[in-house]
Structure 1
Amino acid sequence: MKKILAFAGSNSKTSINKQLAKYASSLLKDVEVNLIDLNDFDAPLYSIDLEGELEEMPESANRLLNLIKESDGLVLSLAEHNGVYATVFKNLFDWMTRIESNFLFKKPMLLMATSPGARGGQTVLTIAKARFPWHDGNIVATFSLPSFNENFENGKITNEDLNNELLAQVEELQKSL
């Protein structure tokens, strides 16, 4: 059985991106989903000075890197903070790239974002789509859910058109596994 690693690039305890990642990964067939929370991957704030002082890289960054390595595919929904990645994600991203620059290992990925606003995290998606291939990111599908609070309820997307769009993107990931 294929293994999917699903998570949100957020440390909010009520993350709307984690809710979206959970829903999207539940739509995959015949897979084992490991839904993780970045709050379980605490790492010191990256700096070149700190890296030079440490005897080894943070255990949490190594643990997340290994989960990515062990997976067959990724479902990632990025939170957008002021137009870019949330600090928790960017920090782990920085640490993992210092361990292994190509930390995404060409794993097929459904890359998503959502926000309470009408753009649905499109700015952070654009940044990630440009950046992730530099780290062996294999983005096979993308999805943006605008106006989360109006379009998501009881663990699923309520807008039929948006849900159908997500189903099509999930199918693209499914084909790539």
Structure 2
Amino acid sequence: MKILAFAGSNSSTSINRQLVTFVAQFFTTHEVEILDLNDFEMPIYSSDREKASGIPKLAYDFTEKIDQSDFLLVSLAEHNGNFSVAIKNIMDWVSRIPNRKIFGEKQMFLLATSPGQRGGASVLEIATKRFPFDGATVVETFSLPFFYENFDSEKGILNNELQRALLEKVEKIKSEFF
């Protein structure tokens, strides 16, 4: 089984990239590819650009990565209570591909973290409601609040209760979907 993992952020120091990379290690018996959204940076979507130049090749490249995977592991950055422009722009371009749902009818473990107490709860709520329309089945979610207090780059999640909650969700996913 192939798992495609990425953070919905284009920051070189993305805490969501750190989280998704950490969670990906629990799926080591499967092939895991971790994408960097910076490799799929395109002009900001507009209908005028689409008419003038068509859909960028990078939008098709992104869908190819999704189509070659069996499961999606995604950690969303929350910018002002919503998606980052990095993931939103990719979604806007991919949505223009004819007969295509953005996430290709894949199952998804959806994560988020932030420095604050809600841990990206707003973007998780939005995505959990929106992504099924875009071809994702969100099978589980996990929020990590207070990232800088609860995460260490070498040790992972420091809070035992949060670590246990994550591991329970990972084991549930493995038993039900792998």
Which TM-score band applies after superposition, normalised by the shorter structure? over 0.9
Contact 1:110 1:169 survives alignment (8 Å): no
Mapped to 2, the partners of 1:51 and 1:154 lie a distance apart of: 41
How far has the Cα of 1:8 moved from its partner?
A: 0.2
Paired residue for 1:163? 163
Aligned residues: 175
Partner of residue 176, structure 1:
177
Any unmatched runs of 5+ in structure 2?
A: none
User: Could you tell me whether the CA contact under 8 Å between 1:80 and 1:123 is conserved in 2?
Assistant: yes
Residue 61 (structure 1) aligns with: 59
Aligned residue in 1 for 2:87 = 89
> Counterpart of 1:142 in 2: which secondary structure?
strand
Residue 88 of structure 1: how far off its partner (Å): 0.6
Q: Which amino acid aligns with 2:8?
A: G
Matched to 1:83, the amino acid is: G
When the two chains are superposed, the root-mean-square deviation of aligned CA atoms in Å is 1.1
- C-alpha distance in structure 2 between counterparts of 1:82 and 1:94, whole Å: 19
Residue pairs, 1:19-38, within 5 angstroms: 19-38=18-37
Task: Report deviation, 1:172.
Answer: 3.0
The TM-score normalised by the length of structure 2 is 0.94
Q: Deviations over 1:8-66 (max 9, x none)?
A: 00000010000000011111241011011101111010011111111x31111111111
> CA contact under 8 A between 1:21 and 1:75: conserved in structure 2?
yes
Query: Which structure is richer in relative contact order (CA contacts within 8 A, separation 6 or more)?
Result: 1
Distance in 1 (alpha carbons) for counterparts of 2:172 and 2:68: 21
Partner of 1:81: helix, strand, or coil?
coil
Provide TM-score, normalisation by structure 1: 0.95
Q: How does 1:110-129 map to 2 (within 5 A)?
A: 110-129=109-128
User: For the residues of structure 1 that align with 2:139 and 2:121, how far apart are their CA atoms?
Assistant: 17
* 3-state secondary structure, aligned to 1:27: helix
State how far apart, in whole Å, the 2-side matches of 1:69 and 1:173 are. 20
